C-alpha cells in the first residue's frame, strides 16, 4: 500500500478478494436489471436516426471498499445509428496492469433486429510483462442493431493520491436514455461528499453492510439536441459530482511530487537560466526571456513512448530535443524562474472547453500552466500555448479553478477571467473617398489576447511573402474587391508585444453615386451578422457567448470636395447581459469621423433571455449595415 497523506482516513484490513485479486461483488448494491424488459423498449429507426443513438440502459455501480480499493461496474445497452456511433462500437479495447487491477467482461452481445443475438468476439492478450489488454469486436454492425456491454473493473491497490473514489455523472446527456441508474457505495472508514449541480436530483441514501449507499434511478430521460453554440453540458445540464476526499491536500501532494524536476537536473537548469537572462536588467525582462524560451524555443510534444507517462520528462531529454508537453514546459519554466529569484508554481486545471463549474477534490485535470509573481504582480502563463504574448493567457485556461502546487496549504483558486479591454483589437483607418465612389485608406492594426495568438499562429515561422499573402487574403475576405498593398508587419514574432501591422486598402466603387448623392457604407472589418443561432426566432437551449473581446474600429474619411453628410450625426448604443455595442458617425470640416465598439464578456445566455440578446444583436447588425447619404452642398441649397 502507498503511504497515506494525513488528511485521509486510514483504510481497514484488506479484503480477502483483494489479496487474491478476485472480482468483488457489487451487485448486492444494485441487482442486475431485466435485459429482456429493457430490450422490449427499443427505439424506432426514425428516433435512433434523429439522435444518432438511443441509450436503453446506463447502469453504473462504483464502490470504495474498506481497504481503500475501488470497483467500477458498468452495464450499458445502446441502439447506435449514426456512422460515428456505430464505429465506436466496432472494436473496444481496455488495458490494465495485472499487478494492480483486473477487468471482467460479464456480457458483450449484439442484439439483432430479428430478436436473435450473437456474442462479441473477445481476445485477451498480454502486451508486456505487466500489461494485459481485452479487445471486444462487435462488428459487423448496422442501423437497427442493439449492443450490450457489462464490464467490471477492480483495482487491488488504491489510487496514487490515496484511498479514494470520485466521479461526475450527467443526469441528462446528448442522447435520450430509457433507464439511467447510478449507485455509489462507500465503506467505513471513508465518507462520501456530494455536489448537485443545475437542479440535479438528490439520491436515496441507506446504510448496508457497513457501506453508505447513494442511489439515483431515472426513467425516460430526454436528450439534449446539441449545436455549435451550446455551452459545455457541465455548465448548464443537471449533473452529480462525487468524491470521498475531504480536501485537496492529497491531490496537491501527489501532483507536486509527480511534476517535480529530478534533483540531478538542478545544475543544467541553473546554467540555462543564467544563459537566458544574462542580458535581462529587470525581473520582467528575466521572466520574458524564460517564457519565450519555454513557449517558443521548446516545441510542444513528446516521443510516442512517453505519451502515457504521468511524470515530467527528464530535463536532459527536454534540453536535448527541445520538446515537451504542458506539464514538461510548465515544470521547466517554474524551475528556471526560481533560479533567477522569481516565485512561481505549477497550477493544474480542467480547461474551460469541459465547463467552468468546479469539481470536488479529485485528479480530474487536463492541463498545466504557471502562476508567478513578477515585480509584485500576479501573472499567469501557458508555455504550451506557444504563440501568446507575454502576460496573455488563453481564454480556455481562464475562469476555471486551478490547483496551485506550492507545497503549502492546498489552494483551489480561480484563474482570473480577462476583462474585454485585455482582449482588445484596435483598427484605426484614415482615408479618402472620391466623387466616383472609390475609398482608399491606410489601416493600423493592433491585436491582443486570443485573436493576436491566432494571427501569430498563422504567420509565425513563415516567410514574408506568405505572411503578406495571408493578410491580403484576410482583408479581402472581409471586403469584396479589396486591393491590399504596402503591408508592413510591425510586430509579429516578438512575444513581448501584441500583434501589430499596417496596410493600404483600396475599395473601388465602394460608394454608389446617385445624381447629387453618394450612398456609402462604412467598411467595418468585422460587421455583425444575423446568422447561426441569431437567425432563429427562439431557442430552447442556453447559448454560449463568444469569447471575451473588445473591438474598437475608427475611420477618419476625407469627403469629396463639395459633399457633406446628410442626417448626421448618427449614434447607436445597445447593451444586454454580457455584451455592449456603440456606434457614432459625425461630420466635421469635410471629414466623416466614425467609431464602432463591440464588447462581449464570457457567460451563458439562458433560453428565456435569448430574445433580448437577439434583439441586441440585430440592433448592431442593422447599424453596421446602414448606408450613409452624402449630398453635394449645392443640392442642399437649391
- Residue 259 maps to which CATH number? 3.10.620.30
> Which residue range is the domain that position 477 belongs to?
421-637
pLDDT above 90 covers a percentage of the chain that reads: 84
Domain assignment present for 4:
no
Last residue of a domain, one of 230, 246, 262: 246
Q: Tell me the CATH number at 27.
A: 2.60.40.3140
Q: Do 428 and 413 share a structural domain?
A: no
Q: Do 190 and 237 share a structural domain?
A: yes
In the sheet that 628-632 helps form, which strands lie side by side, from edge to edge?
A: 512-514, 517-520, 628-632, 563-565
Concatenated DSSP letters for 533-547?
A: GGGSS--SS-EEPPP
Q: Is the per-residue pLDDT at 586 higher than 70?
A: yes
Q: What is the model's pTM?
A: 0.92
Read off the pLDDT of residues 128-140 as tens digits, 9 standing for 90 and up. 888 999 999 999 9
Quick one: 532 exposed, middle or buried, by C-beta within 10 A (0-12, 13-18, 19+)? exposed
Q: What share of the chain is helix, strand, coil (3-state, %, to 5)?
A: 25, 35, 40
Band of pLDDT at residue 317, cut at 50, 70 and 90? confident
Q: Do 202 and 278 share a structural domain?
A: no
CA distance 478 to 470: 13
Q: Do 371 and 242 share a structural domain?
A: no
Q: Is the per-residue pLDDT at 4 higher than 50?
A: no
Quick one: 444 exposed, middle or buried, by C-beta within 10 A (0-12, 13-18, 19+)? middle
The phi and psi torsions of 121 (rounded to 5 degrees) equal -70, 130
Read off the pLDDT of residues 237-258 as tens digits, 9 standing for 90 and up. 999 999 999 999 999 999 999 9
Give the pLDDT confidence score for residue 309 in this predicted structure.
85
Q: Is the per-residue pLDDT at 6 higher than 90?
A: no
pLDDT mean over 70-86 = 97
Last residue of a domain, one of 417, 442, 471: 417
Give the pLDDT confidence score for residue 574 in this predicted structure.
97
Band of pLDDT at residue 187, cut at 50, 70 and 90? very high
Integer-rounded Cα radius of gyration of the chain: 30
Mean pLDDT of all residues belonging to the chain: 93
Give the pLDDT confidence score for residue 3 in this predicted structure.
46
Domain assignment present for 284:
yes
pLDDT mean over 94-114 = 95
Per-residue buried b or exposed e for 357-382, using 16+ beta carbons within 10 Å of the residue's own CB: bbbbbbbbbebbbbbbebeeeebbbb
Give the pLDDT confidence score for residue 63 in this predicted structure.
98
Domain assignment present for 555:
yes
Give the pLDDT confidence score for residue 13 in this predicted structure.
85
pLDDT mean over 149-162 = 95
CA distance 411 to 509: 61
Give the pLDDT confidence score for residue 478 in this predicted structure.
74
pLDDT above 70 covers a percentage of the chain that reads: 98
Q: Which of 598, 302, 243, 280 is nearest to 426 (CA)?
A: 598
Read off the pLDDT of residues 627-638 as tens digits, 9 standing for 90 and up. 999 998 765 555
Q: Do 312 and 454 share a structural domain?
A: no
Domain assignment present for 108:
yes
Question: Which H or E run includes 220?
Answer: strand 211-221
Domain assignment present for 9:
no
Q: Do 514 and 370 share a structural domain?
A: no
Q: Is the per-residue pLDDT at 562 higher than 80?
A: yes
What's the structural domain count of the chain?
A: 3
CA distance 472 to 468: 6
Q: Do 197 and 270 share a structural domain?
A: no
Give the pLDDT confidence score for residue 2 in this predicted structure.
42
CA angle 279, 328, 257 (to 5 degrees): 110
pLDDT mean over 309-313 = 86
pLDDT mean over 337-357 = 95
Question: Which H or E run includes 292?
Answer: helix 283-292
Q: Do 404 and 475 share a structural domain?
A: no
Q: Which of 59, 70, 64, 55 is nearest to 30 (CA)?
A: 59
CA distance 623 to 572: 7
Q: Do 553 and 408 share a structural domain?
A: no
CA distance 355 to 235: 5
Domain assignment present for 335:
yes
Last residue of a domain, one of 362, 390, 417: 417
pLDDT mean over 205-211 = 95
Domain assignment present for 7:
no
**Per-residue DSSP letter, 32:** P
Q: Do 439 and 407 share a structural domain?
A: no
Q: Is the per-residue pLDDT at 60 higher than 50?
A: yes
Domain assignment present for 453:
yes
**Cell 501584441 appears where?**
498
Whether omega before 597 lies within 30 degrees of 0, making that bond cis, reads no
pLDDT mean over 468-487 = 90
Give the pLDDT confidence score for residue 1 in this predicted structure.
38
Band of pLDDT at residue 394, cut at 50, 70 and 90? very high
Strands (E), 448-548: 483-491, 499-507, 512-514, 517-520, 543-544
Quick one: 404 exposed, middle or buried, by C-beta within 10 A (0-12, 13-18, 19+)? buried
**Cell 470497483 appears where?**
71
- Which whole-number Å values give the CA distances from 558 to 427, 441, 565, 566, 610, in the listed order? 17, 10, 11, 15, 40
Q: Do 337 and 233 share a structural domain?
A: no
Query: Which cell goes with 575?
Result: 447593451
Q: Which of 597, 619, 616 is nearest to 424 (CA)?
A: 597
Q: Are 133 and 95 in contact (CB under 8 A)?
A: yes
Helix boundaries (H) for 556-626: 610-625
pLDDT mean over 267-285 = 93
Q: Is the per-residue pLDDT at 389 higher than 90?
A: yes
Q: Tell me the CATH number at 525.
A: 2.60.120.1130
Q: Are 274 and 339 in contact (CB under 8 A)?
A: yes
Q: Do 402 and 280 share a structural domain?
A: yes
Read off the pLDDT of residues 608-626 as tens digits, 9 standing for 90 and up. 999 999 999 999 999 999 9
Amino acid at each position: 500500500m502507498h503511504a497515506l497523506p494525513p488528511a485521509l482516513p486510514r483504510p481497514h484490513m484488506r479484503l480477502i478478494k483483494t489479496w487474491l485479486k478476485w472480482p468483488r461483488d457489487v451487485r448486492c448494491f444494485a441487482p442486475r436489471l431485466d435485459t429482456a424488459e429493457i430490450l422490449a423498449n427499443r427505439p424506432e429507426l426514425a428516433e435512433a436516426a434523429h439522435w444518432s443513438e438511443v441509450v436503453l440502459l446506463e447502469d453504473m455501480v462504483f464502490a470504495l471498499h474498506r481497504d481503500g480499493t475501488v470497483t467500477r461496474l458498468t452495464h450499458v445497452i445502446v441502439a447506435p445509428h449514426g456512422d460515428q456511433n456505430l464505429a465506436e462500437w466496432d472494436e473496444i479495447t481496455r488495458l490494465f496492469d495485472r499487478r494492480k487491477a483486473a477487468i471482467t467482461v460479464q456480457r458483450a452481445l449484439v442484439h439483432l433486429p430479428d430478436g436473435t443475438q450473437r456474442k462479441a468476439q473477445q481476445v485477451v492478450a498480454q502486451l508486456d510483462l505487466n500489461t494485459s489488454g481485452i479487445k471486444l469486436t462487435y462488428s459487423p454492425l448496422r442501423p437497427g442493431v442493439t449492443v450490450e456491454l457489462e464490464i467490471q473493473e477492480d483495482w487491488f491497490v488504491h489510487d496514487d493520491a490515496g484511498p479514494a473514489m470520485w466521479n461526475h455523472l450527467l443526469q441528462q446527456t446528448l442522447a435520450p436514455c430509457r433507464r439511467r441508474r447510478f449507485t455509489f457505495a462507500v465503506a467505513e472508514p471513508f465518507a462520501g461528499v456530494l455536489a448537485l449541480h443545475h437542479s440535479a436530483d438528490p439520491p436515496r441514501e441507506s446504510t448496508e453492510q457497513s457501506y453508505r449507499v447513494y442511489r439515483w434511478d431515472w426513467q425516460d430521460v430526454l436528450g439534449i439536441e446539441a449545436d455549435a453554440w451550446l455551452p459545455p453540458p457541465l455548465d448548464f445540464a443537471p449533473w452529480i459530482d462525487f468524491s470521498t476526499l475531504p480536501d485537496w491536500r492529497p491531490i496537491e501532494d501527489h501532483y507536486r511530487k509527480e511534476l517535480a524536476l529530478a534533483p540531478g537536473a538542478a545544475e543544467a537548469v541553473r546554467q540555462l537560466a543564467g544563459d537566458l537572462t544574462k542580458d535581462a536588467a529587470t525581473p520582467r525582462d528575466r521572466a520574458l526571456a524564460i517564457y519565450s524560451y519555454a513557449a517558443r524555443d521548446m516545441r510542444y510534444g513528446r516521443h510516442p513512448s512517453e505519451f502515457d507517462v504521468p511524470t515530467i520528462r527528464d530535463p536532459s531529454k527536454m534540453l536535448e530535443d527541445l520538446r515537451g508537453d504542458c506539464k514538461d514546459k510548465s515544470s521547466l519554466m517554474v524551475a528556471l524562474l526560481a533560479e533567477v529569484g522569481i516565485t512561481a508554481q505549477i497550477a493544474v486545471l480542467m480547461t474551460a472547453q469541459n465547463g467552468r463549474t468546479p469539481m470536488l477534490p479529485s485528479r480530474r485535470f487536463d492541463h498545466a500552466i504557471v502562476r508567478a509573481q513578477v515585480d509584485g504582480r500576479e501573472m499567469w502563463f501557458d508555455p504550451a500555448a506557444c504563440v501568446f504574448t507575454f502576460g496573455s493567457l488563453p481564454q480556455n485556461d481562464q475562469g476555471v479553478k486551478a490547483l496551485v502546487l506550492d507545497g503549502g496549504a492546498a489552494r483551489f483558486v480561480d484563474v482570473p477571467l480577462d476583462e474585454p479591454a485585455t482582449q482588445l483589437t484596435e483598427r484605426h483607418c484614415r482615408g479618402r473617398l472620391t466623387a466616383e465612389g472609390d475609398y482608399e485608406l491606410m489601416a493600423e492594426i493592433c491585436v491582443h489576447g486570443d485573436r493576436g495568438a491566432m494571427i501569430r499562429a498563422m504567420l509565425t515561422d513563415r516567410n514574408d511573402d506568405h505572411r503578406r499573402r495571408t493578410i491580403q487574403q484576410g482583408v479581402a475576405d472581409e471586403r469584396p474587391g479589396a486591393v491590399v498593398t504596402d503591408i508592413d508587419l510591425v510586430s509579429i514574432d516578438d512575444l513581448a508585444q501584441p500583434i501589430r501591422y499596417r496596410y493600404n486598402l483600396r475599395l473601388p466603387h465602394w460608394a454608389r453615386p446617385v445624381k447629387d448623392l453618394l450612398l456609402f457604407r462604412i467598411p467595418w472589418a468585422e460587421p455583425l451578422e444575423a446568422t447561426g443561432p441569431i437567425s432563429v426566432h427562439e431557442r430552447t437551449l442556453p447559448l454560449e457567448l463568444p469569447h471575451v473581446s473588445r473591438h474598437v474600429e475608427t475611420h477618419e474619411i476625407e469627403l469629396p470636395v463639395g459633399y457633406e453628410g446628410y442626417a448626421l450625426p448618427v449614434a447607436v448604443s445597445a447593451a444586454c447581459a454580457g455584451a455592449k455595442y456603440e456606434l457614432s458617425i459625425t461630420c466635421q470640416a469635410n471629414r466623416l469621423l466614425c467609431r464602432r465598439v463591440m464588447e462581449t464578456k464570457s457567460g451563458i445566455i439562458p433560453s428565456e433571455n435569448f430574445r433580448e440578446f437577439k434583439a441586441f444583436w440585430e440592433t448592431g447588425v442593422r447599424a453596421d449595415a446602414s448606408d450613409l447619404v452624402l449630398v453635394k452642398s449645392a443640392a442642399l441649397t437649391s
